[in-house]
């Protein structure tokens, strides 16, 4: 069984993230979306809220699960018997950073491989940071994040 882990902050999850999840679900037997906890960052959404938002969006994807993890990704991989890290790439800049991370993870556990999936061009310009900034200044985030969570993002921005 090929188990892939798709790690990220997903703060908030974008249409690009969701596209990678759906395509990963077709490519692998099981995909675990890992909402990684970064203690050095204060996110818009608490990590458990991010898990709940993603769960809302993956209904119907029977081979996809979501959970949060604080600690090394490699530890989660070992715990879940996963051998593949799934990463979405938007640009060459993403590749440079993700290549370094893939090499570090390979050093930590040689049995782990990283698979890069190119983003759909329709989503190549979307980032969670851009979504937050647009929403904070009252711009429309329609088409950037799944419609089901637009009210959640707007409400969270307004409550800050």
Q: What is the pLDDT of residues 1-51, one digit of tens each?
A: 999 999 999 999 999 999 999 999 999 999 999 999 877 777 899 999 999
CATH label of the domain that carries residue 90: 3.40.50.620
Active site residue 111: no
Both tokens of 134, joined, read 């647009």
Query: How far apart are alpha carbons 88 and 95 in whole angstroms?
Result: 9
Range of the structural domain that residue 141 is part of: 3-159
Q: What is the pLDDT of residues 40-49, one digit of tens each?
A: 777 899 999 9
Confidence (pTM): 0.95
Half-sphere exposure of 84 (CA within 13 A, CB side): 19
Catalytic residue (choose from 17, 30, 50, 69) = 17
Q: Which residues are annotated as part of the binding site? A: 9-10, 17, 41, 73, 87-90, 98, 123-129
The structural domain count of the chain equals 1
């Amino acid at each position: 069984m090929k188990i892939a882990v798709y790690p990220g902050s997903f703060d908030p999850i974008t249409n690009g993230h969701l596209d990678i999840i759906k395509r990963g679900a077709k490519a692998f037997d099981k995909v675990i979306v890992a909402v990684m906890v970064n203690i050095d960052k204060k996110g818009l959404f608490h990590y458990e809220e991010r898990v709940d938002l993603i769960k809302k969006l993956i209904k119907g994807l029977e081979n996809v699960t979501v959970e949060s993890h604080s600690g090394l990704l490699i530890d989660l991989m070992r715990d879940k018997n996963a051998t593949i890290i799934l990463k979405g790439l938007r640009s060459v800049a993403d590749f440079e950073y993700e290549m370094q991370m893939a090499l570090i993870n390979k050093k930590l556990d040689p049995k782990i491989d990283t698979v890069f999936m190119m983003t759909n061009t329709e989503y190549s310009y979307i980032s969670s940071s851009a979504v937050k900034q647009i929403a904070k200044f009252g711009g429309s985030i329609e088409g950037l994040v799944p419609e089901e969570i637009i009210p959640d993002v707007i409400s969270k921005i307004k409550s800050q």
